[in-house]
Amino acid sequence: MSGKALDVLIVEDEMLLAIELEYLVEEVGCHALGCAMSADEAVDLAARLRPDLALIDVHLSDGPTGIDVARRIHEDCGGTALFMTANVKRLPEDFAGACGVIGKPYSEHGVKTALAYLACCLTEGRAPGLPPVGLTLAPRYAQLWGLDQPLSKSA
């Protein structure tokens, strides 16, 4: 992959998904910092470990707290949040400060290309092209990374 090795925090209450995600993160050359299953755990880990990227499910073990987690990681911990949810339509319009969303069910390849793409965006400060299939960027980040029509090829 082209970007630097990102430190990635996984916020997911489904253990099997979290573990598999850890493998995928490592396979694309990123570094998995750990997994959090609840909002408190996630914010606590993010404050201590300072991840570059946090992969966040909306529904955590303490309820639909993922949106709040994304906002706090974005605002308080300086990390970039990315949602991974089956409920893409329920996300707030501003993505709670997150850079985008990968819709569930995602594929192994979908996650890997999205991670590689984001690693590039985060290190270069601009997108290497349109986002890959499966990744939708938040309008603010699409603009930030130099994409004018962020939603034209999203899925």
Q: Residue 93 is which amino acid?
A: E
Judged by CB under 8 A, which of 40, 107, 126, 146 binds other proteins?
Answer: 107
Q: Is 31 in the site for other proteins (CB under 8 A)?
A: no
Do 94 and 138 meet the contact criterion of CB atoms below 8 Å apart?
A: yes
Q: How far is the CB of 84 from other proteins (least distance, A)?
A: 9
b/e map of 94-133 (b: 16 or more CB within 10 Å)? ebbbbbbbbbbebeeebbbbbbbbbbbbbeeeebeebbbe
Count of Cβ atoms closer than 10 Å to residue 87 Cβ = 15
Q: Which span (30-38, 92-100, 121-129, 130-138) binds other proteins, by CB under 8 A?
A: 130-138
- Tell me whether residue 15 or residue 47 sits nearer to other proteins (CB atom): 15
Do 29 and 120 meet the contact criterion of CB atoms below 8 Å apart?
A: no
Do 91 and 64 meet the contact criterion of CB atoms below 8 Å apart?
A: no
Q: Is 38 in the site for other proteins (CB under 8 A)?
A: no
Q: How far is the CB of 81 from other proteins (least distance, A)?
A: 19
- Tell me whether residue 10 or residue 43 sits nearer to other proteins (CB atom): 10
Q: Is 124 in the site for other proteins (CB under 8 A)?
A: no
Q: Which residues bind other proteins (CB under 8 A)?
A: 14, 16-17, 19-20, 23, 86-87, 89-90, 103-110, 112-113, 132-134, 155
